[in-house]
A = this chain, B = another copy of it.
Amino acid sequence: MNIEIISTGEELLYGSIEDENGAYIARSLVENGFDIGRHSCVGDDLPHLTNMFKEADGRAQVVIVTGGLGPTLDDRTRSAVAGAFGKRLCFSKLAEKSVNDFFKKRGKDVPESNKSQMTLPDGAVCLENTVGTAPGFSFHTGNSLFYFLPGVPSEMRHMMASHVIPGLVSLNRERRDFFFLRAVSHFGISEAEVDMRLSGLENAFPGIKLGLRAVFPVIHVKLYARGGDTSGLNEQLQSAQDWVLDRTGDYAFSTEDRSLAEEVGLSLIRHKKTLALAESCTGGLISHMLTQVAGSSEYFLFSGVTYSNQSKVRILGVPEELLHDFGAVSEQTVSSMAERARIISGADFGLATSGIAGPGGGSTDKPVGTVFIGLSSQKGTRTIGFKQDYGEREKNKTAFAMTALDFLRRELG
């Protein structure tokens, strides 16, 4: 079944926002065993919309459109469908009910402007919207089945799950091709290096497709397979994944699509250990990453984001002489920060960062991108340091934070 996705809206066309809806619909189709021909994106100009709908008619069996169903004058999808396929806009009892119910549940009267949402092109089938004001609809042109969904992500997602996917499944009762995916996440290795190490994979495993995706600073290796033979494909994917792990070694931190912070958290739980941080250049980012994970209070006790030297001394208890003699960005200081964070919080591990995220603050000796990381336990304190400027403060902070977490991940083993 050939399916196309059309996203509408000036904000998308002019790049003010990225097309998250299109990507979501694509993922949802793929996960349910459907293939996709293309996505398109147009503004809310009536002739453009009309042309786009006419073009897709017959080219694809199914067309899924988002946006332009709201109550304002800019919402022109209903009119464009009517124009493209020579239909009148008619009052729809179901659309009326969908809009009325939405406001009724919230104890509000229906505003005058929302009444435009009660009309649909003649022949359309209303798709109820229980989470927003805009009813969706489906429309069969004779050539193609169109679905029109709201542009508000939560409303669109709800309608995909409750109307579109079940509709497509019932259309296509014969055996579908299912889509399988395995992912291995890596840190500390470049995309080119991963690519080189994995060359030959597609020859060794015919039918498996390899995709690399870099989401700074993580390199995701994705293995795709498509077909009807569930257990055969799963076995083949498992062998391919083992082949990958064999070649990328301990740069791989997850085969479950977990974040590095999640993996470190699970490892701390497994080892029954607790963690405290002292963050300077990472400015709270490591704490933020760790506490994104539900249940992190089990192992994460404290982070001292000691941005000023005074707070390093007064709150952590780093000896003033260290800062004076070696500077804040030094092995000596970061080592003391890690140890002090561990001791004052009573944690098993202390992890500390000090460096220069930029754009200012660099020197010849310690340029932007310089960072030291300390890891302290009862066994002692070790440090690592490197210099690598990624050209953006945000990227440098992220790289520093991930390197610190990875240092701990490797220590935990």
Contact A26 B39 (CB under 8 A): no
Chain B CB within 8 A of A349 CB: no
Contact A13 B41 (CB under 8 A): no
| Contact (A345, B310) CB under 8 Å given A213-B16, A315-B302 | yes
The 8 A CB mask of A12-53 against B (1 = contact, 0 = none) is: 111111111011111110100000111111110000100010
Chain B CB within 8 A of A306 CB: yes
| Contact (A292, B397) CB under 8 Å given A211-B10, A308-B302, A345-B314 | yes
List the B side residues contacting A290 at CB < 8 Å.
Answer: 283-284
| Contact (A14, B41) CB under 8 Å given A292-B393, A304-B315, A394-B292 | no
Contact of A27 among B15, B301, B304, B315 (CB under 8 A): B15
Contact of A14 among B30, B72, B307 (CB under 8 A): B30
Contact B294 A358 (CB under 8 A): yes
- Interface residue tally of chain A, by bracket? 35 or more
A window 314-368: CB within 8 A of B: 314-315, 344-346, 357-360
Chain B CB within 8 A of A11 CB: yes
List the B side residues contacting A14 at CB < 8 Å.
Answer: 26-27, 30, 36
In the bound assembly, the distance between CA atoms of A276 and B48 in angstroms comes to 53
Count the copies. Answer: 2
Chain B CB within 8 A of A305 CB: yes
The 8 A CB mask of A61-88 against B (1 = contact, 0 = none) is: 0000000000011000000000000000
A window 260-303: CB within 8 A of B: 276-277, 279, 283-288, 290-292, 294-297, 300-303
**SS class of chain A's interface: helix, strand, loop or mixed?**
mixed
In the bound assembly, the distance between CA atoms of A213 and B286 in angstroms comes to 30
Least distance between A261 CB and chain B CB atoms (Å): 11
Contact B288 A16 (CB under 8 A): no
Contact of A38 among B26, B52, B345 (CB under 8 A): B52
Contact A22 B48 (CB under 8 A): no
| Contact (A15, B10) CB under 8 Å given A300-B307, A397-B291 | no
Contact of A286 among B10, B43, B284, B301 (CB under 8 A): B284
Contact B18 A18 (CB under 8 A): yes
- Having A284-B285, A315-B344, one finds 20 other A-B pairs with CB under 8 Å, namely A13-B38, A14-B36, A15-B26, A16-B23, A18-B22, A18-B23, A72-B195, A277-B305, A283-B290, A283-B292, A284-B286, A300-B307, A301-B308, A301-B310, A302-B306, A302-B307, A303-B304, A303-B305, A304-B315, A314-B346
Binding site for B on A (CB under 8 A): 10-20, 22-28, 30, 36-43, 48, 52, 72-73, 113, 195, 199, 202, 209, 211, 213, 222, 276-277, 279, 283-288, 290-292, 294-297, 300-308, 310-311, 314-315, 344-346, 357-360, 393-394, 397
14 A-B pairs with CB atoms under 8 Å apart are A13-B26, A14-B27, A15-B23, A15-B24, A15-B30, A18-B22, A19-B19, A36-B43, A38-B52, A283-B287, A294-B358, A296-B307, A297-B308, A304-B304
